[in-house]
Chains A and B, each alone.
Chain A
Amino acid sequence: GAVVSQHPSRVICKSGTSVKIECRSLDFQATTMFWYRQFPKQSLMLMATSNEGSKATYEQGVEKDKFLINHASLTLSTLTVTSAHPEDSSFYICSARRNRDSNQQYFGPGTRLTVT
């Protein structure tokens, strides 16, 4: 199979602090990982695309200084929400793709972030 994990599954943090979310491809190497955000009862919104060893490409309207993405290895990408505010509370989902020619993305189970 192609398993993607995320850690933590849930996190509560105080306003102004930073939170790091990890996305790992467990049984394959992922040249590309994607970070999505999902609001309650809404669809997934792509935040950024990260390719191993290069800078992430952010979608329009997503603040790159607020949502720091690092894709340091072929099996790990991290999303750091810096100086979190209550409006950053959301469900964050990552996905991973084996290579550029692959048509499939494998999704992680998501991370519920609550900022108090």
Chain B
Amino acid sequence: GEDVEQSLFLSVREGDSSVINCTYTDSSSTYLYWYKQEPGAGLQLLTYIFSNMDMKQDQRLTVLLNKKDKHLSLRIADTQTGDSAIYFCAEIGEYGNKLVFGAGTILRVKS
């Protein structure tokens, strides 16, 4: 079945860039997503990318997709303490209804 993997933890200093990586196995993925979850809260969609794109930029966020290697990354420029949260990578396949999530990356921003 489909599988999505992420590194579990990332620590950066305030003002630095953060890069969170994700790999997936589903070659028929059509959309890939990044969600943010703050403690005790639901998921907030940060951004998504269609599988025929290789990059998408939205303010401080840059998503890079390497479809050949099935690798997705999220870069957060000028990371702030408010960016501390869990970040989930997710994908949805061509015929699928369901999102498949990675285990989440805990981002800790030190001031």
Residues of A within 8 A of B (CB): 4, 6, 32, 34, 41-44, 46, 49, 93, 95, 103-110, 112
CB < 8 Å: which of B31, B41, B44, B102 contacts A103?
A: B31
Report yes or no: B42 in contact with A110, Cβ–Cβ below 8 A: yes
Report yes or no: A103 in contact with B98, Cβ–Cβ below 8 A: no
Q: A43-B104, A103-B92, A104-B48 are in contact. Are A110 and B41 (CB under 8 A)?
A: yes
Report yes or no: B99 in contact with A105, Cβ–Cβ below 8 A: yes
Total contacts A-B at CB 8 Å: 43
How many positions in chain B have a CB within 8 Å of any CB in the partner chain? Answer: 19
Q: How far is the CB of B7 from chain A (nearest CB, A)?
A: 13
CB < 8 Å: which of A46, A110, A112 contacts B98?
A: A46
Q: Is the interface of A mostly helix, strand, loop or mixed?
A: strand
Residues of B within 8 A of A (CB): 30-31, 35, 40-45, 48, 88, 92, 97-99, 101-104
Q: A104-B45, A109-B42 are in contact. Are A43 and B31 (CB under 8 A)?
A: no
